[in-house]
Amino acid sequence: MENHRKKTTYDKILEIVAVAALLVSFCPLLLYHTIHPDDVFPTHYNIAGEIDGWGGRSSLWLIPLIGLAFYIGLSILQKYPKIYNYPCKVTEQNANYLYRMGVQLMRHVKACFMIILAYANNDMYMGAINKNSGPIGILYAILMAGMFVPVIIYAIKMVRYKS
């Protein structure tokens, strides 16, 4: 029985969020013409919030293209939960549950990653037009936690599951 392939409402919401965030990461490209070709702006900040990377307007293409590649890759990977690495032994009794949890976790990570990339690219665009003062470190920390905390939660749920 392949019960893990059935999408719940939560799964559908995660997919919508991931697609929406991916589209938002492309938004700065709509305003690409507003940046002078010779302008240089911050593209990367270290953990202390200091600028350690500079780039031109073509840098705005990098994040959305990386996001698109990851979105496609993670979407394909969702179709093969049997190849995931699980925190417990997969048996006939717990396979459907583990596969469903694995696919849901993959959707969650994908949505969070797309949100991070969308925020980063829009933040970079705002830096290019001199409308921001740099990344908000606490916001990046929250976004990163949104991706890694569920990994821990899902691992605990998988290990505790009793078929």
Chain segment 1-29, per-residue pLDDT in tens:
466 678 889 999 999 999 999 999 999 88
Distance, in Å, from the CA atom of 67 to the CA atom of 23, rounded to the nearest integer, reads 10
| Residue 146 pLDDT | 85
Query: What are the domain boundaries of the chain?
Result: 7-160
For residue 108, the one-letter residue type is H
SS3 of the chain: CCHHHCCCHHHHHHHHHHHHHHHHHHHHHHCHHHCCCCCCEEEEECCCCCEEEEECHHHHHHHHHHHHHHHHHHHHHHCCHHHCCCCCCCCCCCHHHHHHHHHHHHHHHHHHHHHHHHHHHHHHHHHHCCCCCCCCHHHHHHHHHHHHHHHHHHHHHHHHCCC
| Residue 79 pLDDT | 93
Give me the mean pLDDT over the 59-79 stretch.
Answer: 94
Residue 156 CA: distances (Å) to CA of 2, 59, 88, 127, 152: 23, 39, 10, 40, 6
Specify the pTM. 0.84
pLDDT surpasses 90 at 68:
yes
**Where residue 135 falls among pLDDT bands split at 50, 70, 90?**
low
